[in-house]
Structure 1
Amino acid sequence: MAQWLKALQDPQLVARFQRSCGLTLQPKAETNGVSPGHVPSRTFQGGGSRTAGVKGFPQENGMDSYSNGSYANGLHKKEQVRKYDVQNYLLYYLFLFAAALGQEVFYITFLPFTLWNFDSFVARRLIVVWVIVMYIGQASKDLLKWPRPTSPPVVKLETRVDAEYGMPSTHAIAATAISFTFLLATMGRYQYPFGIGLAAAVCVSTLVSLSRLYTGMHTVLDVICGVAFALLFLALTFPMWDATDELMLTNPLCPALVVIVAFLLSYNYPEMDHYSTTRADTTTILGAGSGTFIGNWFTHYLGMTYVPAGPFPLGIPPITPHMALLHVARFVLGVGLIVLARYAAKTLSLKLLGLWHNVPTQDPLVRQRLEIEVPYKFVTYTFVGVVAHTVVPYLHHVLNL
Structure 2
Amino acid sequence: MESISLWQGLALCGIVSWIVISSSLNVTRKLRTLVQPWVSHHVITGTPIILQIQKYQHGFLDVLFSGLSCVVSVPFYTAFLPLLFWSGHGKLARQMTLLMSLCDYSGNCIKDVVSAPRPRCPPVRRITATKEEQENTLEYGLPSSHTLNTVCLSGYLLHYVLSYTQSEDASLKFAGFAVVCLIVCLTGLGRIYLGMHSVIDIIAGIGVGFVILAFWLSVHNHVDSFIVSGQNVTTFWAALSLLLLFAYPTPELPTPSFEFHTAFDGVAFGIVAGVQQTYHQFHHESVPRIFTPQLTVSAFLGRMLVGIPTILVVKYCSKALAKWILPIISNTLGIPIRSTSYIPMLKGSVTGKKTGEIKQSGYIKKLPIFSSQGTFDVDTGIRFLQYSGLAWSVVDLVPSLFSYLSL
Shorter-chain TM-score range:
0.7 to 0.9
Question: Counterpart of 2:48?
Answer: 12
Q: Is the 8 A contact 1:161 1:276 kept in 2?
A: no
- Measured in 2, the distance between the counterparts of 1:189 and 1:100 equals 28
Deviations 1:353-396 (A, max 9, x none): 34546867443983998421211111111111111111122222
Higher deviation after alignment, 376-385 or 194-203: 194-203
Paired residue for 2:101? Answer: 131
1:165 paired residue among 140, 146, 155: 140
Change (3 A) 1:289 1:15: same
Q: Which residue is equivalent to 1:121?
A: 91
Letter in 2 for 1:152: P
Secondary structure of 2:324's partner? helix
Q: Is the 8 A contact 1:169 1:223 kept in 2?
A: yes
Cα distance change of structure 1 residues 370 and 12 upon mapping to structure 2, 3 Å threshold: farther
The structure with the greater share of residues assigned to helix is 2
2:384 paired with 1:378: yes
Specify the alignment match of 1:55 in structure 2: none
Aligned equivalents of 1:4 and 1:248: distance in 2?
39
- What residue identity is the alignment partner of 2:70? A
Q: Determine the structure 1 residue equivalent to 2:309.
A: 336
Is residue 272 from structure 1 mapped to residue 251 from structure 2 by the alignment? yes
The residue type equivalent to 2:118 in the other structure is R
**Corresponding residue number in structure 2 for 1:218:** 197
Determine if contact 2:138/2:255 at 8 Å carries over to the other structure.
Answer: yes
Q: Which runs of 5+ in 1 are unaligned?
A: 23-87
1:324 aligns with 2:297: yes
Shift of 1:118: 4.5
1:268–1:363 distance in 2 versus 1, CA, 3 Å: farther
Structure 2 matches for 1:2-401, cutoff 5 A? 6-7=41-42, 10-20=46-56, 22=57, 88-158=58-128, 159-190=134-165, 193-300=172-279, 302-308=280-286, 317=291, 323-355=296-328, 356=331, 361-363=342-344, 366=347, 370-401=376-407
Q: Deviations over 1:154-211 (max 9, x none)?
A: 1112332222111111111111111111111221212673334323322322222222
CA contact (8 A) 1:12 1:153 kept: no
Q: CA deviation at 1:13?
A: 1.5
Distance 1:347 1:394 in 2: 23
Task: Give CA-to-partner distance per residue, 1:236-272, whole Å, 9 cap, x none.
Answer: 3312221221111111312211121112212442223
The whole-number CA distance in structure 1 between the counterparts of 2:219 and 2:326 is 39
- Structure 2 gap ranges (5+): 1-36, 129-133, 350-374
One-letter code of the match for 1:18? Q
Deviation at 1:144, TM superposition (A): 0.6
3-state SS of paired residue (2:283): coil
CA distance in 2, matches of 1:109, 1:269: 25
8 Å CA contact retained: 1:338, 1:388:
yes
TM-score (norm 2): 0.73
Cα distance, 1:6 vs. partner?
Answer: 4.8
Q: Write the letter of the residue equivalent to 1:353.
A: L
In the alignment, which residue of structure 2 is the partner of 1:57? Answer: none
Deviations 1:115-144 (A, max 9, x none): 111501111211111111210100111101
Whole-angstrom distance in 2 between the partners of 1:283 and 1:190: 35
% identity of equivalent residues: 22
Q: Is the contact made by 1:248 and 1:293 (CA closer than 8 Å) also made in structure 2?
A: yes
Q: 1: distance between equivalents of 2:193 and 2:101?
A: 26
Per-residue Cα deviation, 1:213-238 (whole angstroms, up to 9, x for no partner): 12211111111111111112222331
Take 2:345 and 2:66, find their aligned partners in 1: how far apart are those partners? 28
Counterparts in 2 of 1:329 and 1:210: CA distance versus 1, 3 Å: farther
Indicate how the Cα distance of structure 1 residues 89 and 290 shifts in structure 2: closer, same or farther if over 3 A, else same: same
Using a 3 Å threshold, how does the CA distance of structure 1 residues 319 and 99 change in structure 2: closer, same or farther?
farther
For 2:163, what is the secondary structure of its paired residue?
A: coil
TM-superposed CA distance for 1:319, in Å, is 10
CA distance in 2, matches of 1:367, 1:266: 22
Letter in 2 for 1:306: H
Please state whether the residue corresponding to 1:189 is helix, strand or coil. Answer: helix
Q: Which moved more, 1:240-249 or 1:272-281?
A: 272-281
Residues 173 and 364 of structure 1: CA distance in aligned 2, closer, same or farther (over 3 Å): farther
1:282 and 1:367 map into 2 onto residues whose CA distance is 23
Q: How many Å apart are 1:292 and its aligned residue?
A: 1.1
For residue 164 of structure 1, give the secondary structure of its aligned residue in structure 2.
coil
TM-score (ref. length: structure 1): 0.74
